[in-house]
Amino acid sequence: MDTSRVIPALAAVAPAAWTGIAATTLIELADPADPQAVLTRIRGAAATEGPLTVALVGQLQRDRKQGQIHLALARTAPATVRYTGLPWAWLVQTLQQRRPHTTTVYADLIADAEVWQLLHDQPLSFGNVPAYGVISPPPGRRRTAQPRYAHALAQVLRSGHRPGDEELHHEVLRRVDIAEGALFLGAMPPAAPVNVPLPPSNPAPGPVPAVPAPLPQQARRAASPVHMPSEAVVPVEADPHERIAAASKAGRHDEAAELAAAAERHAVQTYGADTFASVHWVEVRAFLATVAQDPSTSCRLWLQAAETRLDVLQQAPDAHDVETSVDRAHHQWLQLRDASAARAFAPRLVALRRRVPGRQPGALESIRKTLERLTTPPAQ
Protein backbone atom coordinates (compact mmCIF):
# COMPACT_ATOMS: atom_id res chain seq x y z
CA MET A 1 0.00 0.00 0.00
CA ASP A 2 1.28 3.45 -0.93
CA THR A 3 1.13 5.47 2.30
CA SER A 4 3.45 8.27 1.22
CA ARG A 5 0.69 10.63 0.06
CA VAL A 6 -1.71 10.01 2.94
CA ILE A 7 0.84 10.57 5.73
CA PRO A 8 0.92 14.38 5.24
CA ALA A 9 -2.89 14.47 5.11
CA LEU A 10 -3.23 12.53 8.37
CA ALA A 11 -0.52 14.60 10.05
CA ALA A 12 -2.29 17.83 9.04
CA VAL A 13 -5.42 16.91 11.01
CA ALA A 14 -5.67 19.02 14.16
CA PRO A 15 -4.94 16.68 17.09
CA ALA A 16 -8.16 17.66 18.84
CA ALA A 17 -10.16 16.49 15.80
CA TRP A 18 -9.08 12.90 16.41
CA THR A 19 -10.42 12.65 19.96
CA GLY A 20 -12.89 15.52 20.25
CA ILE A 21 -11.07 17.12 23.22
CA ALA A 22 -8.73 20.10 23.20
CA ALA A 23 -5.79 18.60 25.11
CA THR A 24 -4.69 15.94 22.65
CA THR A 25 -1.26 14.57 21.73
CA LEU A 26 -0.62 13.22 18.25
CA ILE A 27 1.91 10.40 17.83
CA GLU A 28 2.84 9.62 14.23
CA LEU A 29 4.74 6.46 13.27
CA ALA A 30 5.54 6.86 9.58
CA ASP A 31 7.14 3.77 7.99
CA PRO A 32 8.25 2.27 11.33
CA ALA A 33 10.75 -0.58 11.09
CA ASP A 34 11.10 -2.14 14.56
CA PRO A 35 8.10 -4.08 15.95
CA GLN A 36 9.29 -3.67 19.55
CA ALA A 37 9.64 0.10 19.13
CA VAL A 38 6.14 0.31 17.66
CA LEU A 39 4.72 -1.75 20.51
CA THR A 40 6.41 0.53 23.03
CA ARG A 41 4.77 3.61 21.49
CA ILE A 42 1.39 1.90 21.36
CA ARG A 43 1.67 0.87 25.01
CA GLY A 44 2.60 4.41 25.96
CA ALA A 45 -0.45 5.78 24.17
CA ALA A 46 -2.68 3.09 25.66
CA ALA A 47 -1.55 4.02 29.17
CA THR A 48 -3.16 7.46 28.94
CA GLU A 49 -6.41 8.07 30.81
CA GLY A 50 -8.27 10.04 28.16
CA PRO A 51 -9.83 8.92 24.88
CA LEU A 52 -7.54 7.22 22.37
CA THR A 53 -7.98 7.08 18.61
CA VAL A 54 -5.75 4.74 16.60
CA ALA A 55 -5.46 5.09 12.83
CA LEU A 56 -3.87 2.14 11.01
CA VAL A 57 -2.83 2.24 7.36
CA GLY A 58 -0.94 -0.62 5.76
CA GLN A 59 -0.84 -4.28 4.81
CA LEU A 60 -1.70 -7.46 6.69
CA GLN A 61 0.63 -10.41 6.12
CA ARG A 62 0.59 -13.95 7.47
CA ASP A 63 3.48 -15.72 9.15
CA ARG A 64 3.47 -19.00 7.26
CA LYS A 65 5.24 -20.91 10.03
CA GLN A 66 2.91 -20.03 12.91
CA GLY A 67 -0.07 -18.88 10.88
CA GLN A 68 -0.34 -15.56 12.76
CA ILE A 69 -1.41 -12.25 11.17
CA HIS A 70 1.04 -9.33 11.30
CA LEU A 71 0.83 -5.67 10.34
CA ALA A 72 3.67 -5.14 7.87
CA LEU A 73 6.28 -2.54 8.79
CA ALA A 74 8.89 -0.76 6.67
CA ARG A 75 11.22 -3.76 6.24
CA THR A 76 8.63 -6.52 6.24
CA ALA A 77 8.79 -9.12 3.49
CA PRO A 78 6.81 -12.38 3.21
CA ALA A 79 9.83 -14.43 4.26
CA THR A 80 10.66 -12.24 7.30
CA VAL A 81 7.20 -11.19 8.51
CA ARG A 82 7.58 -13.19 11.74
CA TYR A 83 10.50 -10.97 12.79
CA THR A 84 9.87 -7.66 11.02
CA GLY A 85 6.08 -7.27 11.26
CA LEU A 86 3.94 -6.21 14.22
CA PRO A 87 1.95 -9.23 15.47
CA TRP A 88 -1.72 -8.34 15.32
CA ALA A 89 -2.30 -10.06 18.66
CA TRP A 90 0.12 -7.60 20.34
CA LEU A 91 -1.91 -4.65 19.14
CA VAL A 92 -5.27 -6.11 20.18
CA GLN A 93 -4.02 -7.20 23.60
CA THR A 94 -2.59 -3.75 24.31
CA LEU A 95 -5.77 -1.89 23.36
CA GLN A 96 -8.04 -4.31 25.22
CA GLN A 97 -6.40 -3.34 28.51
CA ARG A 98 -7.94 0.11 28.35
CA ARG A 99 -11.22 1.10 29.99
CA PRO A 100 -14.30 0.34 27.87
CA HIS A 101 -15.64 3.06 25.56
CA THR A 102 -12.37 5.06 25.57
CA THR A 103 -10.72 3.63 22.44
CA THR A 104 -11.59 3.78 18.75
CA VAL A 105 -9.71 2.30 15.79
CA TYR A 106 -9.89 3.50 12.19
CA ALA A 107 -8.23 1.13 9.74
CA ASP A 108 -7.45 1.24 6.04
CA LEU A 109 -5.79 -2.10 5.36
CA ILE A 110 -5.09 -4.49 2.52
CA ALA A 111 -4.56 -8.19 3.02
CA ASP A 112 -2.11 -10.43 1.28
CA ALA A 113 -3.56 -13.49 -0.45
CA GLU A 114 -3.17 -15.79 2.57
CA VAL A 115 -4.68 -13.34 5.06
CA TRP A 116 -7.50 -12.59 2.64
CA GLN A 117 -8.36 -16.28 2.52
CA LEU A 118 -8.36 -16.45 6.32
CA LEU A 119 -10.67 -13.44 6.67
CA HIS A 120 -13.40 -15.15 4.68
CA ASP A 121 -13.62 -17.79 7.42
CA GLN A 122 -12.81 -15.68 10.47
CA PRO A 123 -13.15 -11.87 10.72
CA LEU A 124 -10.16 -9.89 11.92
CA SER A 125 -10.42 -9.48 15.68
CA PHE A 126 -10.22 -6.11 17.40
CA GLY A 127 -11.25 -7.56 20.76
CA ASN A 128 -13.71 -5.29 22.54
CA VAL A 129 -12.47 -2.14 20.78
CA PRO A 130 -14.84 -0.44 18.27
CA ALA A 131 -13.22 -0.46 14.83
CA TYR A 132 -14.23 1.29 11.62
CA GLY A 133 -12.76 1.18 8.15
CA VAL A 134 -12.10 -1.27 5.34
CA ILE A 135 -9.91 -4.26 4.58
CA SER A 136 -9.31 -4.58 0.86
CA PRO A 137 -8.24 -7.65 -1.12
CA PRO A 138 -4.76 -7.91 -2.65
CA PRO A 139 -4.45 -5.28 -5.43
CA GLY A 140 -2.94 -7.70 -7.96
CA ARG A 141 0.58 -8.40 -9.09
CA ARG A 142 2.88 -5.39 -9.42
CA ARG A 143 0.10 -3.05 -8.36
CA THR A 144 0.00 -0.81 -5.30
CA ALA A 145 -3.18 -0.05 -3.38
CA GLN A 146 -4.10 3.51 -2.46
CA PRO A 147 -5.38 4.25 1.08
CA ARG A 148 -8.52 6.02 -0.09
CA TYR A 149 -10.43 5.47 3.15
CA ALA A 150 -7.64 7.02 5.25
CA HIS A 151 -7.34 9.96 2.86
CA ALA A 152 -11.08 10.66 3.04
CA LEU A 153 -10.96 10.28 6.83
CA ALA A 154 -8.32 13.01 7.00
CA GLN A 155 -10.37 15.20 4.66
CA VAL A 156 -13.48 15.01 6.81
CA LEU A 157 -11.58 15.67 10.03
CA ARG A 158 -9.75 18.64 8.49
CA SER A 159 -13.05 20.21 7.42
CA GLY A 160 -13.81 21.18 11.01
CA HIS A 161 -16.75 18.79 11.23
CA ARG A 162 -16.34 16.03 13.86
CA PRO A 163 -19.40 13.77 13.95
CA GLY A 164 -19.75 10.65 16.08
CA ASP A 165 -17.61 7.64 15.21
CA GLU A 166 -20.24 5.75 13.22
CA GLU A 167 -21.44 8.87 11.42
CA LEU A 168 -17.84 9.78 10.63
CA HIS A 169 -17.31 6.28 9.20
CA HIS A 170 -20.39 6.63 6.98
CA GLU A 171 -19.35 10.10 5.82
CA VAL A 172 -15.95 8.73 4.80
CA LEU A 173 -17.52 5.86 2.88
CA ARG A 174 -19.73 8.31 0.98
CA ARG A 175 -16.62 10.07 -0.32
CA VAL A 176 -14.60 7.15 -1.67
CA ASP A 177 -14.79 4.30 -4.12
CA ILE A 178 -14.04 1.18 -2.09
CA ALA A 179 -12.35 -1.75 -3.83
CA GLU A 180 -14.80 -4.40 -5.01
CA GLY A 181 -15.21 -7.15 -2.44
CA ALA A 182 -13.67 -5.16 0.41
CA LEU A 183 -14.66 -6.02 3.97
CA PHE A 184 -16.21 -3.27 6.07
CA LEU A 185 -15.25 -2.77 9.69
CA GLY A 186 -18.01 -1.40 11.87
CA ALA A 187 -21.49 -0.65 10.63
CA MET A 188 -22.26 -1.31 7.00
CA PRO A 189 -22.55 1.84 4.88
CA PRO A 190 -26.01 3.34 4.39
CA ALA A 191 -27.81 2.80 1.13
CA ALA A 192 -26.26 4.73 -1.70
CA PRO A 193 -28.20 7.77 -2.92
CA VAL A 194 -30.09 7.58 -6.14
CA ASN A 195 -27.90 8.47 -9.11
CA VAL A 196 -28.92 11.58 -11.00
CA PRO A 197 -27.97 12.82 -14.47
CA LEU A 198 -24.70 14.74 -14.56
CA PRO A 199 -23.10 17.00 -17.13
CA PRO A 200 -20.67 15.18 -19.43
CA SER A 201 -17.37 14.58 -17.64
CA ASN A 202 -15.29 13.66 -20.68
CA PRO A 203 -13.23 16.39 -22.28
CA ALA A 204 -14.82 16.00 -25.70
CA PRO A 205 -17.08 18.85 -26.81
CA GLY A 206 -20.77 18.19 -26.47
CA PRO A 207 -24.09 19.99 -26.15
CA VAL A 208 -25.15 21.53 -22.88
CA PRO A 209 -28.39 19.91 -21.64
CA ALA A 210 -31.41 21.89 -22.81
CA VAL A 211 -33.26 21.08 -19.58
CA PRO A 212 -31.30 21.71 -16.39
CA ALA A 213 -30.33 18.46 -14.70
CA PRO A 214 -30.73 17.84 -10.97
CA LEU A 215 -27.82 18.84 -8.81
CA PRO A 216 -24.85 16.46 -8.80
CA GLN A 217 -24.66 13.87 -6.07
CA GLN A 218 -21.81 15.63 -4.26
CA ALA A 219 -23.99 18.75 -4.02
CA ARG A 220 -26.12 16.92 -1.45
CA ARG A 221 -23.26 16.39 0.98
CA ALA A 222 -22.28 18.51 3.95
CA ALA A 223 -25.58 20.39 3.96
CA SER A 224 -25.77 23.09 6.61
CA PRO A 225 -28.29 25.81 7.52
CA VAL A 226 -28.11 29.00 5.47
CA HIS A 227 -28.73 32.17 7.47
CA MET A 228 -29.69 34.94 5.06
CA PRO A 229 -29.71 38.66 5.89
CA SER A 230 -33.09 39.93 7.10
CA GLU A 231 -33.56 42.08 4.03
CA ALA A 232 -33.01 39.18 1.63
CA VAL A 233 -36.00 38.11 -0.42
CA VAL A 234 -35.05 34.42 -0.15
CA PRO A 235 -36.34 32.81 3.07
CA VAL A 236 -34.03 30.97 5.44
CA GLU A 237 -33.93 27.24 4.76
CA ALA A 238 -32.41 24.30 6.62
CA ASP A 239 -31.20 22.76 3.35
CA PRO A 240 -31.27 24.90 0.19
CA HIS A 241 -30.47 22.10 -2.26
CA GLU A 242 -34.04 21.35 -3.28
CA ARG A 243 -34.90 25.03 -3.76
CA ILE A 244 -31.74 25.54 -5.82
CA ALA A 245 -32.55 22.53 -7.99
CA ALA A 246 -36.12 23.73 -8.51
CA ALA A 247 -35.01 27.25 -9.48
CA SER A 248 -32.40 25.90 -11.89
CA LYS A 249 -34.83 23.48 -13.50
CA ALA A 250 -37.38 26.29 -13.95
CA GLY A 251 -34.76 28.45 -15.69
CA ARG A 252 -34.42 30.94 -12.82
CA HIS A 253 -30.65 30.76 -13.03
CA ASP A 254 -29.90 34.01 -11.19
CA GLU A 255 -32.03 32.93 -8.23
CA ALA A 256 -30.35 29.51 -8.10
CA ALA A 257 -26.90 31.08 -8.29
CA GLU A 258 -27.68 33.55 -5.49
CA LEU A 259 -28.98 30.78 -3.24
CA ALA A 260 -25.80 28.78 -3.82
CA ALA A 261 -23.61 31.85 -3.25
CA ALA A 262 -25.41 32.52 0.05
CA ALA A 263 -24.83 28.91 1.11
CA GLU A 264 -21.16 29.26 0.23
CA ARG A 265 -20.84 32.43 2.32
CA HIS A 266 -22.42 30.63 5.25
CA ALA A 267 -20.04 27.68 4.85
CA VAL A 268 -17.04 30.03 4.79
CA GLN A 269 -18.26 31.85 7.92
CA THR A 270 -18.99 28.57 9.74
CA TYR A 271 -16.15 26.29 8.66
CA GLY A 272 -13.67 28.64 7.01
CA ALA A 273 -12.54 29.30 3.47
CA ASP A 274 -10.97 26.45 1.50
CA THR A 275 -12.72 23.71 3.47
CA PHE A 276 -14.71 20.78 2.13
CA ALA A 277 -17.91 22.53 3.14
CA SER A 278 -17.04 25.65 1.15
CA VAL A 279 -15.58 23.93 -1.93
CA HIS A 280 -18.78 21.89 -2.10
CA TRP A 281 -20.73 25.09 -2.81
CA VAL A 282 -18.15 26.27 -5.35
CA GLU A 283 -18.90 23.06 -7.26
CA VAL A 284 -22.64 23.60 -6.95
CA ARG A 285 -22.21 27.09 -8.43
CA ALA A 286 -20.05 25.64 -11.21
CA PHE A 287 -22.74 23.10 -12.06
CA LEU A 288 -25.43 25.80 -12.07
CA ALA A 289 -23.34 27.89 -14.47
CA THR A 290 -23.10 24.86 -16.76
CA VAL A 291 -26.88 24.53 -16.76
CA ALA A 292 -27.21 28.27 -17.41
CA GLN A 293 -24.90 27.85 -20.43
CA ASP A 294 -22.25 30.16 -18.97
CA PRO A 295 -19.06 28.19 -19.76
CA SER A 296 -16.70 30.97 -18.68
CA THR A 297 -18.07 31.12 -15.14
CA SER A 298 -18.41 27.34 -14.96
CA CYS A 299 -14.83 26.75 -16.14
CA ARG A 300 -13.46 29.30 -13.65
CA LEU A 301 -15.32 27.72 -10.74
CA TRP A 302 -14.39 24.14 -11.65
CA LEU A 303 -10.75 25.22 -11.91
CA GLN A 304 -11.02 26.86 -8.48
CA ALA A 305 -12.55 23.73 -6.97
CA ALA A 306 -9.90 21.44 -8.46
CA GLU A 307 -7.02 23.65 -7.30
CA THR A 308 -8.47 23.87 -3.79
CA ARG A 309 -8.93 20.12 -3.53
CA LEU A 310 -5.38 19.45 -4.72
CA ASP A 311 -3.36 22.25 -3.13
CA VAL A 312 -5.25 23.10 0.06
CA LEU A 313 -7.25 20.01 0.97
CA GLN A 314 -4.40 17.75 -0.19
CA GLN A 315 -6.57 15.29 -2.07
CA ALA A 316 -4.84 12.79 -4.33
CA PRO A 317 -4.77 13.53 -8.09
CA ASP A 318 -6.72 10.32 -8.73
CA ALA A 319 -9.41 11.07 -6.15
CA HIS A 320 -12.86 10.93 -7.75
CA ASP A 321 -13.82 14.50 -6.78
CA VAL A 322 -10.54 15.89 -8.12
CA GLU A 323 -10.83 14.08 -11.45
CA THR A 324 -14.45 15.19 -11.78
CA SER A 325 -13.59 18.85 -11.19
CA VAL A 326 -10.75 18.83 -13.73
CA ASP A 327 -12.78 16.92 -16.33
CA ARG A 328 -15.63 19.38 -16.05
CA ALA A 329 -13.33 22.39 -16.15
CA HIS A 330 -11.83 20.95 -19.34
CA HIS A 331 -15.25 20.30 -20.86
CA GLN A 332 -16.44 23.84 -20.12
CA TRP A 333 -13.18 25.30 -21.48
CA LEU A 334 -13.89 23.57 -24.77
CA GLN A 335 -17.30 25.28 -24.88
CA LEU A 336 -15.78 28.79 -24.74
CA ARG A 337 -16.37 30.90 -27.82
CA ASP A 338 -14.26 33.81 -26.57
CA ALA A 339 -10.67 33.11 -27.67
CA SER A 340 -9.19 35.54 -25.15
CA ALA A 341 -11.02 33.83 -22.27
CA ALA A 342 -9.85 30.42 -23.48
CA ARG A 343 -6.24 31.62 -23.62
CA ALA A 344 -6.57 33.15 -20.15
CA PHE A 345 -7.79 29.90 -18.57
CA ALA A 346 -5.42 27.66 -20.54
CA PRO A 347 -2.32 27.86 -18.27
CA ARG A 348 -4.33 26.80 -15.20
CA LEU A 349 -6.02 23.99 -17.11
CA VAL A 350 -2.72 22.74 -18.54
CA ALA A 351 -1.14 22.77 -15.07
CA LEU A 352 -4.04 20.74 -13.70
CA ARG A 353 -4.02 18.28 -16.60
CA ARG A 354 -0.34 17.56 -16.01
CA ARG A 355 -1.21 16.55 -12.46
CA VAL A 356 -4.61 15.00 -13.20
CA PRO A 357 -4.48 13.39 -16.66
CA GLY A 358 -7.89 11.76 -16.18
CA ARG A 359 -9.17 8.41 -17.37
CA GLN A 360 -9.25 9.25 -21.08
CA PRO A 361 -6.00 9.56 -23.06
CA GLY A 362 -5.04 12.67 -24.97
CA ALA A 363 -6.39 15.36 -22.65
CA LEU A 364 -3.27 17.54 -22.82
CA GLU A 365 -3.05 17.04 -26.58
CA SER A 366 -6.64 18.26 -26.99
CA ILE A 367 -5.76 21.48 -25.15
CA ARG A 368 -2.69 22.00 -27.35
CA LYS A 369 -4.67 21.52 -30.56
CA THR A 370 -7.41 23.87 -29.41
CA LEU A 371 -4.86 26.56 -28.51
CA GLU A 372 -3.20 26.17 -31.92
CA ARG A 373 -6.56 26.66 -33.59
CA LEU A 374 -7.24 29.77 -31.51
CA THR A 375 -3.84 31.34 -32.28
CA THR A 376 -3.61 30.40 -35.97
CA PRO A 377 -4.84 33.26 -38.17
CA PRO A 378 -7.53 32.27 -40.69
CA ALA A 379 -6.33 31.46 -44.19
CA GLN A 380 -6.75 34.24 -46.74
**In the predicted structure, residue 230 carries a pLDDT above the cut 50:** no
Give the per-residue pLDDT at 238: 53
CB distance 132 to 106 below 8 Å: yes
Largest interatomic CA distance in the chain: 84
- Going by pLDDT thresholds of 50, 70 and 90, the confidence category of residue 365 is confident
pLDDT tens digits along 110-123? 999 999 999 978 88
What would the pLDDT profile of 287-316 be if each residue is shown by its tens digit?
A: 999 999 999 999 999 999 999 989 888 788
What are the tens digits of pLDDT across the range 147-190?
999 999 998 898 877 788 888 898 888 887 777 788 989 866 54
Quote the pLDDT of residue 338.
87
On the question of pLDDT at 195 being above 80, the answer is no
Query: Beta partners for 237?
Result: 226
| pLDDT tens per residue across span 35-74 | 999 999 999 999 988 899 999 999 999 998 888 999 999 9
Mean pLDDT within 323-338: 91
Of 270 and 130, the one with more pLDDT: 130
Is residue 199 very low, low, confident or very high in pLDDT (cuts 50, 70, 90)? Answer: very low
User: Which residue would you say has higher pLDDT here, 197 or 359?
Assistant: 359
pLDDT in tens, 204-217: 333 333 222 333 33
Q: Which amino acid is at 313?
A: L
pLDDT at 233 over 90: no
* pLDDT tier for residue 283 given thresholds of 50, 70 and 90: very high
Residues 6+ away with beta carbon under 8 Å from 256 = 244, 245, 247, 248, 288
Q: What is the pLDDT of residues 78-89, one digit of tens each?
A: 899 999 999 999
What does the pLDDT read at residue 71?
96
Contact between 106 and 54 (Cβ < 8 Å): yes
Positive/negative CA dihedral, 323, 325, 327, 330:
negative
**pLDDT value at position 22?**
82
Percent of the chain clearing pLDDT 90 (strictly above):
40
Mean pLDDT computed over 27-41? 91
pLDDT value, residue 189: 52
Provide mean pLDDT across the span 21-45. Answer: 90
Res. 134 pLDDT band, cuts 50 70 90: very high
Q: Which residues are CB-neighbours of 123 under 8 A, at least 6 positions away?
A: 183
Q: What is the mean pLDDT of residues 117-143?
A: 88
pLDDT at site 206: 34
Q: Which residues pair with 57 in a beta bridge?
A: 108
pLDDT at site 194: 29
Output the average pLDDT for the chain: 81
pLDDT at site 73: 94
pLDDT of residue 329: 94
pLDDT value at 376 more than 80: no
Residue type, position 317, single letter: P
Q: Which residues have C-beta within 8 Å of that of residue 199, sequence separation ≥ 6? A: 208, 209, 213, 216, 287, 290, 291, 328, 331
- Give the model's pLDDT for residue 188: 62
